[in-house]
Structure 1
Amino acid sequence: MAQSLITSEIDFDADGKQAGYLRVPHSVHRSAYGWIPVPVVSIKQGSGPVVLMLAGNHGDEYEGQIALTKLAQDLVPEALQGQVILLPMTNFPAAETGQRCSPLDNGNLNRSFPGDPGGTPTQMIAHFIEEVLLPGCDVLIDLHSGGSSLFYPATLLRGQGWTEEEGATLRALEAAFDLPQAWVFQGGGGPHSTARTAMGAANRKGVIPVMAELGGGGSVTPDILSLTERGLRRVLHHLGMLPAYRPDAPRGTRALHAAGSVFAYEAGLFEPLKDLSDPVGTGEVVGRIHDPSAPLRLPVDVISPYDGIVMAKRPMAQVRRGDAVVQIGYDMPDLAPQT
């Protein structure tokens, strides 16, 4: 495996709290020997699990960036058993500019794993995470939101587990995070995963991964940010890493499978007729697309091909053909044994 060209200013083996940068080499006209500063924090004390937390994987997703920044400030080594590694602006060029993809190479980090040690900046970051950071970790928590074009309620994302043991661990992490909604993937995962996401990278390295979709629409929602901060501490407590933390009572999670997205087939302004968590039936109109440039033209109905509920919605009114306007999910079947 080729060695990463990225260097770290912090020592991941040292106890205590450290903050610095991952230096991603980037030679450009204004800076022949320059580097891109990816902020990194390590908080370590004694023995225990190692948890890698990412935010800013997509740069226009903000709750996670704030939550990890606050956690970096608040968490002290004396309260910790194990190690937490935080990357609050994982694809720094994208996060710095508030864009989904990096303005330097148009790189979508969550479609770039396993990366390339000698590739573009986004590919180098992906490679460093998969080949340098993840092999030393036990759990990955990758914080996302709907970004500029979608809005999710606070939702945990997880697989069903490559083995029975892994499945039980993932269900326990879901319960510990205790978000209102969970999106459970069907199939995939495991050491042979070909997914180009951070979760796929974790699966390939034998690390337990969970992800979260936390709001979106280019904004920060106070209640979702609060749920995020609460969930991270609850997970660390569940893993035995915050022994003095006292979690409040669980509130419960609605577990869903994704049925699919509903797309616009015309350009115009989208009028939603459904809100988050609303029930939807196959053939039901979920919204209409209007064309104000032709006021007497009747709107075009957007029809769901799925039964279920609205898992996510588009907050932007303007749409083009091919834009997802809602995402539909359905409740996971009850697999409990019948008595």
Structure 2
Amino acid sequence: MTKSMVWSGLDLDGEGKQADYLRIPHSVDTSAYGWVPVPLIRIRNGTGPTALLCAGNHGDEYEGQIALLDLAREIEAKDVRGCLLILPGLNYPAVAAGRRVSPLDEGNLNRSFPGQAQGTPTQMLAHYITDMLFPRADFVIDLHSGGRSLEYAHCGLGHYGRGEETDTKIRELLEVFSAPWSILTQGAGGGGDTTLYAAAAARGIPAITAELGGGARVDPVGLRHAADGTRRALAHWGIWTAPDLRTPETPTRLARTLPRPTSLYAMHSGLFEPFCQPGEAVQAGQPAGRLHHHEQPLLPPTALQFSASGVISCRRALAHTRLGDCLYHLAELL
């Protein structure tokens, strides 16, 4: 594999607590030899497991960013056995812009794995994570929410089908994180192994994504699930035990994503009026909402209905809708 062009002043194998940047080279008109910062915190004390904790993979998803910023300030190296690598603003150009994708190259980091060593800034970052951070990690948590366009049921997602040993470890991580829902997926929405958690799972690393809200706002309950689930995982692997470690109020409910044809998409532009909530159980044929023709006001709205029974894993957050926009995704209980 070609050597990464991303570098850092941070010694990943060093001891103690230290913050610095990953530096992605980026040559533009006003900065010929400049670099793009990606904040990285390393907290290490002796030997033990390594946790790779990420948020801000999409810049308009905030619960995980806040949870990891709080965590990085709280944990001291003397209380750790092993290592934490924390990236609270992973796709930093997108984070700074409050966007899903990077304004530098329109790159969606969570569709860019395994990346390219000499590609665009987003591709270079994905390559560095794959080449330099994955080999160090004993488990990976990538904290998400629905961003500007979606609202998610609070859930952990695990990419299954990687072999019995890896699948078992992913199920274990989902159970320890213990979001209200744990959903097994084969990554159809991300196009296979192009997402961070799928790329990690392809290398035998237990990895999950957590979807904990949406609408480009901070969901207080989702923030609590992000913080509590991450703390439980660190305690389970013996890296750090939080003084206020909380057990989940109820056991996580296991589900599996339904095939893409069961999802509901907009068949024309308009205003989306939803009838159902994320996490709600629905039946095939049940009314799902209406799509209003705002450009042709005398046309009756299009009646929407579910084509399959299941649980709503996510729903469109925005009313303004275009042809091809996803309105609902479904999962089935296991």
**Partner-residue secondary structure (3-state), 1:210:** strand
Residue by residue, what CA displacement relative to the aligned partner does 1:174-208 show, whole Å, maximum 9, x if unpaired?
A: 221111011112599xxxx9611112321343321
Q: 1:276 deviation in Å?
A: 2.0
Matches within 5 A, 1:105-124: 105-124=105-124
Which residue does the alignment assign to 1:269?
Answer: 271
Q: 1:323 to 1:171 in 2, by over 3 A?
A: same
Distance in 1 of aligned mates of 2:331 and 2:204? 28
- The Cα of 1:310 is off from its aligned counterpart by 1.4
The CA RMSD measured in Å over matched residues stands at 1.8
Partner of 2:132: 132
Provide the C-alpha distance between the structure 2 equivalents of 1:244 and 1:227, rounded to a whole number of angstroms.
Answer: 14
Give the partner amino acid of 1:143: L
C-alpha distance in structure 2 between counterparts of 1:330 and 1:42, whole Å: 39
Give the distance between the partners of 2:129 and 2:247, measured in 1 at CA.
Answer: 34
The residue that corresponds to 1:69 in the other structure is 69
1:245 Cα shift? 4.5
- 3-state SS in 2 of match to 1:216: coil
- 1:231 is matched with 229
- 1:229-259 CA-partner distances (Å, limit 9, x unpaired): 1111011001111246563333211111112
Q: Count matched residues.
A: 328
Query: Could you say which residue in structure 2 is the equivalent of 1:256?
Result: 255
Shift of residue 266, structure 1, vs aligned partner: 1.8
- Of 44-53 and 250-259, more deviation after overlay is shown by 250-259
| Residue matched to 2:321 | 319
Task: Identify the residue that residue 103 of structure 2 maps to in structure 1.
Answer: 103
- Partner residue in 2 for 1:331: 333
Q: CA deviation at 1:48?
A: 1.0
Q: 1:53 to 1:155 in 2, by over 3 A?
A: same
- C-alpha deviation, 1:225, in angstroms: 0.3
Task: Give the direction of change, closer, same or farther, for the CA distance of 1:200–1:310 in structure 2 (3 Å limit).
Answer: closer
| Cα 1:133/1:289, change in 2 over 3 Å | same
- Contact in 2 for aligned 1:161/1:170 (Cα 8 Å): no
CA contact (8 A) 1:237 1:245 kept: no
Aligned to 1:310: 312
The code of the aligned residue for 1:67 comes to A
What is the match of residue 337 of structure 1? none
Give unmatched runs, 5+ long, in structure 2.
none
Q: Is the 8 A contact 1:113 1:197 kept in 2?
A: yes
Give, in whole Å, the separation in 2 of the partners of 1:82 and 1:221. 31
Amino acid at match of 1:182: S
Q: Is the 8 A contact 1:53 1:84 kept in 2?
A: yes
- 1:125-168: CA deviation from partner (whole Å, max 9, x where unpaired): 00000011111111111111111110112210013363433333
What SS does the corresponding residue of 2:101 show, helix, strand or coil?
coil
TM-score (norm 1): 0.92
Determine helix, strand or coil for the equivalent of 1:215: coil
Whether 1:278 aligns to 2:276 is no
Is 1:4–2:4 an aligned residue pair? Answer: yes
**Cα deviation, residue 116, structure 1:** 0.9
Name stretches of at least 5 consecutive residues in structure 1 with no aligned partner.
Answer: 333-339
Q: Is contact 2:162-2:202 (8 Å) kept?
A: no
- In the TM superposition, residue 291 of structure 1 has moved relative to its aligned partner by 2.3
Using the size of structure 2 for normalisation, the TM-score is 0.93
Rounded to whole Å, the distance in 1 between the matches of 2:192 and 2:293 is: 41
Instruction: Give 1:220's aligned amino acid.
Output: V
Per the alignment, do residues 228 and 244 of structure 1 end up closer, same or farther by CA in structure 2, a change over 3 Å counting? closer
The question of whether the paired residues in 1 share the 8 Å contact of 2:148 and 2:214 is answered with yes
Aligned runs of 1:200-211 on 2, under 5 Å? 200-211=198-209
